[in-house]
Amino acid sequence: MLVNIKPEDILFLDIETVPSASSYYDLDPAFRIHWEKKSKQFRNDDQLPGQVYNRAGIFAEFGKIICISAGFISAKDPFSFRIKSFYGDNEKDILTGFSELVNKFSRNREMNLCAHNGREFDYPYIARRMIINRLAIPGILDNAGKKPWEVRLLDTLDLWKFGDYKSYTSLDLLTLVLGINSPKDDIDGSMVAGIYHDEHDLKRIVVYCEKDVAAVAQVLLRFMNLPSIDPGRIESVTF
C-alpha cells in the first residue's frame, strides 16, 4: 500500500479542540441562538442546548484549536520520529506556527499530510479556523479546484475502510487490532475540554496529542508494510 509515497515525506498531525467558551452561558447571545439550532441535529428532545455544549468543540464555528502536534520521520534504518507541538490559549499563534512548519517541511519534497479521520475533521477544521483568524491557508490544505490525484492528504481511517463506509474505526481500536501501543492510556478526546477549561492543564493535553501523532505514524507504517518505530526513537522537541 502507498508504494509511491516516501514515509520521510509525510507530516503526521493531530489537533485538540475545545468549545470556544467555558460554558454555554458564557457564549455571545447570537452564538447561543445558532448553537440551539445546530444542536437540534443530535440532542434528545428532553435535552437543553446547554446540556450538550461540551460537544461544541468538534465544530469549527463553535470551537477553537488549543493544540496541533506534528511529527515526521527524521532518520531511517532504523526509523526515528520527531514531534513538535504548537499549543496555548492564542489560536492564531498556534495556527501561524503550524503553517510555518508546513511551509518549511514542504520545501524540496512531495509532501503529504496524514491524520486519523483527517479528511472529515483535522484538515477542514484547521482550514476553517485559519480563515476565521485571517490567515492564509497552506497550499496543501487548499483543495479548491484540485483534481483528486493532486490532493496530498492521507487519512488512516479512510485507508482502513478500503471503500467500506459502514462504520467508524477509532484510532484506539485500530492500534489495538494492529498490536500498537494505545495513545489513550491517560485521557481520551471527551476529556480534553474539561481539562482545558476547568484545570487548564495544557501540558497534559499536549502529551496526549503527541501520543496520537506517534500512533498514526505507526499505523501508516504498518499499512505500508514497513518496520515500526522503536518507542525509544520517538522524540518530542516541544518542551
Is 88 domain-assigned? yes
Q: Give me the count of residues in the chain.
A: 239
Instruction: Examine the domain organization and report whether 218 and 200 are in the same domain.
Output: yes
Alpha-carbon span 116 to 44, nearest angstrom: 29
Instruction: Examine the domain organization and report whether 102 and 210 are in the same domain.
Output: yes
Quick: pLDDT tens for 85-137.
Answer: 999 999 999 999 999 999 999 988 899 999 999 999 999 999 999 999 999 99
Is 52 domain-assigned? yes
What global pTM score does this model have?
Answer: 0.95
Is 225 domain-assigned? yes
Residue, of 150 and 17, whose pLDDT is higher:
17
Q: If you average pLDDT over residues 215-225, what whole number do you get? A: 97
Count of structural domains, the chain: 2
Instruction: Examine the domain organization and report whether 40 and 139 are in the same domain.
Output: no
When pLDDT is cut at 50, 70 and 90, the band that residue 184 belongs to is: confident
Quick: pLDDT tens for 125-154.
Answer: 999 999 999 999 999 999 888 888 889 999
Instruction: Examine the domain organization and report whether 180 and 87 are in the same domain.
Output: yes
pLDDT at 1: 87
Is 29 domain-assigned? yes
Instruction: Examine the domain organization and report whether 42 and 135 are in the same domain.
Output: no
Instruction: Examine the domain organization and report whether 91 and 111 are in the same domain.
Output: yes
For residue 106 the three cell numbers come to 514542504
Is 238 domain-assigned? no
Is 235 domain-assigned? no
Instruction: Examine the domain organization and report whether 47 and 153 are in the same domain.
Output: no
Is 66 domain-assigned? no
Quick: pLDDT tens for 42-83.
Answer: 999 899 999 999 999 999 999 999 999 999 999 888 999 999
Residues whose CB falls within 8 Å of the CB of residue 194, separated by 6 or more in sequence, listed in order:
54
Residues whose CB falls within 8 Å of the CB of residue 224, separated by 6 or more in sequence, listed in order:
1, 2, 3, 5, 7
Q: If you average pLDDT over residues 177-203, what whole number do you get? A: 91
Alpha-carbon span 108 to 80, nearest angstrom: 20
Alpha-carbon span 175 to 40, nearest angstrom: 33
Domain of 35?
A: 21-61
Q: What is the DSSP string of 86-97?
A: EESS-HHHHHHH
Distance of CA 36 to the CA centre of its chain: 26
Instruction: Examine the domain organization and report whether 106 and 208 are in the same domain.
Output: yes
Instruction: Examine the domain organization and report whether 77 and 99 are in the same domain.
Output: yes
Q: If you average pLDDT over residues 3-19, what whole number do you get? A: 96
Quick: pLDDT tens for 19-38.
Answer: 999 999 999 999 999 999 99
Residue 217: pLDDT above 90?
A: yes
pLDDT at 186: 82
Instruction: Examine the domain organization and report whether 52 and 87 are in the same domain.
Output: no
Mean pLDDT of the chain: 94
pLDDT at 145: 87
Q: 72 burial class (0-12, 13-18, 19+ CB within 10 angstroms)?
A: buried
